[in-house]
Amino acid sequence: MTLRRLEFTVKKLLREILIQSVLSAWWVVCDFGSGFAFIPAVCEFWKNSEKHSMSLLYTSLIRPVLFQYDPELVHDVLVNWASKLQSHPGFTRQFRTLLIDETRQKPVRLWNLTFPNRVGLAAGFDKNVQAPWFWWMLGFGHIEFGGVTQFPQPGNPLPRIFRLPADKAIINRMGFNNDGMEEIAKRLEKAGPFPVPVGINIGKNKWVENDDAPAAYSAVLNQLYNFAGFFVVNVSSPNTPNLRKLQDKEALKAIFGTLQNDREQFQIRKPVLLKLAPDLSERQREEVAGLVRDLAIDGLVISNTTLDRAGLTSPGSLSSQTGGLSGRPLRSKSTEMIRQFHTWLPEVPIIGSGGIFSVQDAEEKLAAGASLVQIYTGFIYQGPGLVRELAGMQV
């Protein structure tokens, strides 16, 4: 199936969502009289229904069709569609008012940044800053772009994303495919001042030796410093050879020592966080916790994807694929890791990620010690309605 035909199919399936939002927008802007009295009711249902109509539409109609096609192709089509939709700012603002009730959100203050709610879009979904205002429209309280490397790179060969519906999971081996820091800097500048905190996930190119990693991370931080509210050092992706070796104590010392020196040249001190793999041994975790304390690292993102395949029920043709596993199977593993690091480092803010498919899942991570949460695979399986539910959490 061609990209053009798939894009047409996706647009057709999303038409009901667009019709509801456009009708509501027309009603707000224009006075159509009593003959259109049903439109306010649609708007009120859209804003106040606990079981959001978008969630039902997505999981029962849209997702089954999208899941028939290659995951990366669907993702690219949807991000491209989102990029086009955000070019109409009046529409995106109106759509956001329908999706998100600002009065129900509880802002969070961290690192001198105000997060309007606790849910963010995890790194990897919009690697190249293609649709920033679309994610804001859906209600995300922060957005993490990237991973960004110093130079453009295509990533690993296709196919490299695999859905495991029986496990509500995804395996990916993308390999830091991105357009490079210079192009991404242009897009962030074009996006302009942003109403929610922006994070940048930074990595290194595949061909960069680990000994040269501090310079590679430094280049990205310096190039993008003025466009981000916070940075996340990604040394935990399983899809770049030997990258996880950078989670060793001496390697982390070198990287964070360089980055912390770099930011001294800037007027504003921005937080630099560390993203960890859930597969670290107990000894490695203890070493990292000590290093976070010694270097005064600003925060943690827990966790990245896992290499563990225990308990999967999907066919071996799927579960045996190489790459990082995300989704429901990661929920408990990441939550326990959050609880462990919060016990060791109660003063260090944590962004919790991994297996969040509901408000209960998110609250579980917050209770374990996370201050914010991020979604990726849950967003794919549950749709935009999940964002609305998480944005309204009262914890």
Q: List pLDDT tens digits, range 183-213.
A: 999 999 999 899 999 999 999 999 999 999 9
pLDDT of residue 264: 96
Q: What pLDDT, on a 0 to 100 scale, did the predictor assign at position 247?
A: 96
Work out the pLDDT band at 278, boundaries 50, 70, 90: very high
* 94 confidence band (pLDDT: 50, 70, 90): confident
Give the model's confidence band at 48: pLDDT under 50 very low, under 70 low, under 90 confident, else very high: low
Which residues, at least 6 apart from 213, have a Cβ–Cβ distance to it below 8 Å? 204, 235, 246, 251, 254, 255
Length of the chain: 395
87 is catalytic: no
Q: What percent of the chain has pLDDT over 90?
A: 79
Q: What is the pLDDT of residues 143-177, one digit of tens each?
A: 999 999 999 999 999 999 999 999 999 999 999 99
Q: Annotated catalytic residue: which of 21, 24, 237, 326?
A: 237
DSSP 211: G
Rounded to an integer, what distance in angstroms lies between the CA atom of residue 357 and that of residue 5? 30
Residue 18 has pLDDT above 50, yes or no: no
Mapped onto helix, strand or coil, the DSSP state of residue 258 is helix
Closest Cα to residue 231, out of 241, 218, 242, 240? Answer: 218
Is residue 40 over pLDDT 60? no
Distance CA 374, CA 355 (A): 10
Instruction: Write out the CATH class of domain 103-391.
Output: alpha beta
If one compares 7 and 176, the residue with the highest pLDDT of the two is 176
Lowest mean pLDDT among 6-15, 56-65, 188-197: 6-15
8 A C-beta contact, residue 103 and residue 129: no
Per-residue pLDDT for 46 more than 90?
no
Residue 8 has pLDDT above 70, yes or no: no
Q: Work out the pLDDT band at 52, boundaries 50, 70, 90.
A: low
Number of C-beta neighbours around residue 106 at 10 A: 14
Question: pTM for this one?
Answer: 0.88
Q: Which residue matches tokens 């020196």?
A: 261
- Arithmetic mean of pLDDT, 348-360: 98
Give the chain's mean pLDDT. 89
Cα separation, 300 vs 46, whole angstroms: 35
The answer to whether the peptide bond before residue 193 is cis (omega within 30 degrees of 0) is no
| Domain positions in the chain | 103-391
Backbone angles phi, psi at 311, to 5 degrees: 85, 0
